[in-house]
Structure 1
Amino acid sequence: MFKPRQSGFTLVELMVGLTLALLLTLGIANIYLQTRQTFRSQTALARMTEDGKYALATLQRMIYQAGFQNTANMTAAAATAFPAGYGMTAGAFIKGTSTSVDLRFLGDTEGNMVTCAQDTSGNADYPTLKLNQQYAYRLSFQNNQLSCGTLNTAGTTVTDSQVLADNIIDFKLTYGVDSDGDRLADSYTDSPTNWANVYAVRACMVVRSSDDKITVSSSGKTYLNCDFPNHAQQSVDDSDGHLYRTFSTTLYLRNKTN
């Protein structure tokens, strides 16, 4: 009787097939991991960009508001509109250090002035500031955060503090001083001797991603620090997996009239 011949894969063929399948699986896994890593990097970079831009935009608006005199006080001399208080001399509306800045301005009935703190108590129009009175705030950097709070009349205590951005590892403010009377900044310092001659503020911050497993270990990684004016390259540890981004801008005191 004829018996049909049985056929199948040999052991060698099975081993070759398994090897090819394994290589294909490894290739797909590698593509997946690379795609996932790219997505994480782009997400982290977008988050850092949003945080940095928001922090700088808030700092910019508050500095632009410094020294604002509303319609009721527009013709008053600066020393009259801003008497001594909040840690500032009469007529002054800005004072600070390399890591914080104090600002004051008058409210605007048309709602053009806003707060950067959580001073909701007694302010029915929060976050706009419509009362015809002085408002004073301190924006400061500490514990890797940029915060804003209301400043008391003595200029010593801050309340209603609100975090504007976190994961900030470097922050610096310098102040543009006019030395020849043309109302333009001739030099920058973090400790002016006469705040009446300050006409601009340079701000810099370095934001770091919250995720520390984004970049692979490698040597030679750097970011631009906040050392004015050249922003030197700052080295990063080889095993550091964070992303870094530096934000820098120059802001002018648009309500400076003297």
Structure 2
Amino acid sequence: MSNYHPIQYSGFKRHTGFTLLELLIALFLGLLLIAGVIQLYLSSKQAFRSQETNAQIQDDARFVIDTIIRQLHHSGLRNNPKESQGEAFPEVEADDLSFPSGWPSAWEIDFGRGQSIIGQDGNNTDGIPQDRLYFRSQAYGEDDTLTNCSGGNLGGGSTTIFYIDDATKSLQCVFNGSRISLVNNVVGMDISYKVDMVEFSPDNPQALMTATQIEEYNTAAAAASTAFLRPRNLWNRVIGVKIDFLLRSQNTNITTETQSINFNGVTATPDENRLFRTFSTAVMLRNSPGVNSSELLDD
């Protein structure tokens, strides 16, 4: 008797893979996931660049403001008590001052009334203010606590100039004719002067004026002067300085669209999608010559 028992199959079990539709759905979901990861990465990268750029601009602004304040504290300084204001700061014409090579003739000011501080209004081709500031100091002896903008001793009979080089967008300092670049990416500098007008305008005892307004006042006062009434020189009545700065980022393409800048009433549209910020500071002059000094000086 045979013990052979044939295997009985109740049916066939079919094994199938992904359909084309399922494969397309999987690919689509995978692409969505990858796109989300890429978008998250790009957003994080842009946020990091923005934070880094803001920190860079703030560091530059902090350095600019600190340097300007420290140097302006030297304006009108005379550490020899035996010298009068007129002896420490005599009348000096532009030909007797030192300016860097290539200095525009229109920027060659003088201290013809014995001023210790004077300014000029200016702007670049976009109309953004780029004013210039000039001041003098008399620091005798080797005092390491009194340093100029290049880090050396201040010394006697020194002249300091702050201005913006529009070609390099940098704040420059000129000390006794030698130029030094302080910081890049400074686009604008708008300067106003607080003038002691208590004797002339009691209703506005401390006027905030531009350099042009001061010069216009001085010109009108000179025209009205006589042999018995010396012309007033408001530069000798400047007791404080207010400076507004416009700084930009070092890197380009920080913003998603080009900024429209309103800097003290002037609107400009820079290129390259840089980030721009404004900063302000005000400095009271420690060595202001006093309200009557302008009447003590001859023409």
TM-score by length of 2: 0.68
Q: What SS does the corresponding residue of 1:92 show, helix, strand or coil?
A: coil
Q: Could you say if the C-alpha distance between residues 233 and 81 of structure 1 is closer, same or farther in structure 2, counting changes exceeding 3 Å?
A: closer
Of 209, 222, 231 in structure 1, the residue corresponding to residue 249 of structure 2 is 209
Of 39, 43, 48 in structure 1, the residue corresponding to residue 57 of structure 2 is 48
Partner residue of 1:196?
A: 236
Of 116, 119, 124 in structure 2, the residue corresponding to residue 96 of structure 1 is 119
Report Cα offsets for 1:222-256 as digits up to 9, x if no partner: 4440x3xxxx473647x862211011222221111
Partner residue of 2:37?
A: 28
Mark the runs of 5 or more structure 2 residues left unpaired by the alignment: 1-6, 98-109, 122-130, 219-232, 291-299
Q: What SS does the corresponding residue of 1:66 show, helix, strand or coil?
A: coil
The answer to whether the 8 Å contact 2:236/2:289 transfers is no
In 2, the alpha carbon distance for the partners of 1:185 and 1:179 equals 6
Q: Could you say if the C-alpha distance between residues 235 and 147 of structure 1 is closer, same or farther in structure 2, counting changes exceeding 3 Å?
A: closer
What is the letter of the counterpart of residue 102 of structure 1?
A: Y
Partner residue of 1:109?
A: 142
Of 265, 278, 284 in structure 2, the residue corresponding to residue 246 of structure 1 is 278
The answer to whether the 8 Å contact 1:178/1:186 transfers is yes
Partner residue of 2:67?
A: 58
Instruction: Name the one with the larger strand percent.
Output: 1
In 1, the alpha carbon distance for the partners of 2:193 and 2:154 equals 29
Please report how far the alpha carbon of residue 83 of structure 1 lies from its aligned counterpart in structure 2 after TM superposition. 2.3
Please report how far the alpha carbon of residue 106 of structure 1 lies from its aligned counterpart in structure 2 after TM superposition. 2.4
What is the letter of the counterpart of residue 36 of structure 1?
A: K
The answer to whether the 8 Å contact 2:116/2:136 transfers is yes
In 2, the alpha carbon distance for the partners of 1:128 and 1:255 equals 21
In 2, the alpha carbon distance for the partners of 1:185 and 1:109 equals 36
Report Cα offsets for 1:81-133 as digits up to 9, x if no partner: 2223343146521112121111111235332211113xxxxxxxxx24164x2
What is the letter of the counterpart of residue 11 of structure 1?
A: L
Please report how far the alpha carbon of residue 26 of structure 1 lies from its aligned counterpart in structure 2 after TM superposition. 0.1
Q: Could you say if the C-alpha distance between residues 136 and 90 of structure 1 is closer, same or farther in structure 2, counting changes exceeding 3 Å?
A: same
In 2, the alpha carbon distance for the partners of 1:255 and 1:11 equals 86
What is the letter of the counterpart of residue 283 of structure 2?
A: L
From the CA coordinates, give the structure whose radius of gyration is larger: 2
In 2, the alpha carbon distance for the partners of 1:165 and 1:115 equals 16
In 1, the alpha carbon distance for the partners of 2:208 and 2:148 equals 30
Q: What SS does the corresponding residue of 2:197 show, helix, strand or coil?
A: coil
Mark the runs of 5 or more structure 1 residues left unpaired by the alignment: 118-126, 152-157
The answer to whether the 8 Å contact 1:60/1:251 transfers is yes
In 2, the alpha carbon distance for the partners of 1:199 and 1:27 equals 59
Q: What SS does the corresponding residue of 1:136 show, helix, strand or coil?
A: strand
Report Cα offsets for 1:49-74 as digits up to 9, x if no partner: 1112211221111111111122xx02
Report Cα offsets for 1:179-223 as digits up to 9, x if no partner: 2249x63231223232111111121121122323111137xx544
Tell me the number of residue pairs that the alignment of Structure 1 and Structure 2 aligns.
230
Q: Could you say if the C-alpha distance between residues 88 and 130 of structure 1 is closer, same or farther in structure 2, counting changes exceeding 3 Å?
A: closer
Q: What SS does the corresponding residue of 2:241 show, helix, strand or coil?
A: strand
In 2, the alpha carbon distance for the partners of 1:16 and 1:39 equals 35
Of 147, 153, 177 in structure 2, the residue corresponding to residue 129 of structure 1 is 153
In 2, the alpha carbon distance for the partners of 1:21 and 1:187 equals 64
The answer to whether the 8 Å contact 1:185/1:200 transfers is no
In 2, the alpha carbon distance for the partners of 1:201 and 1:114 equals 20
What is the letter of the counterpart of residue 150 of structure 1?
A: F
In 2, the alpha carbon distance for the partners of 1:27 and 1:116 equals 51
Stretch moving more, 77-86 or 21-30: 77-86
Q: What SS does the corresponding residue of 2:87 show, helix, strand or coil?
A: helix
In 2, the alpha carbon distance for the partners of 1:150 and 1:110 equals 17
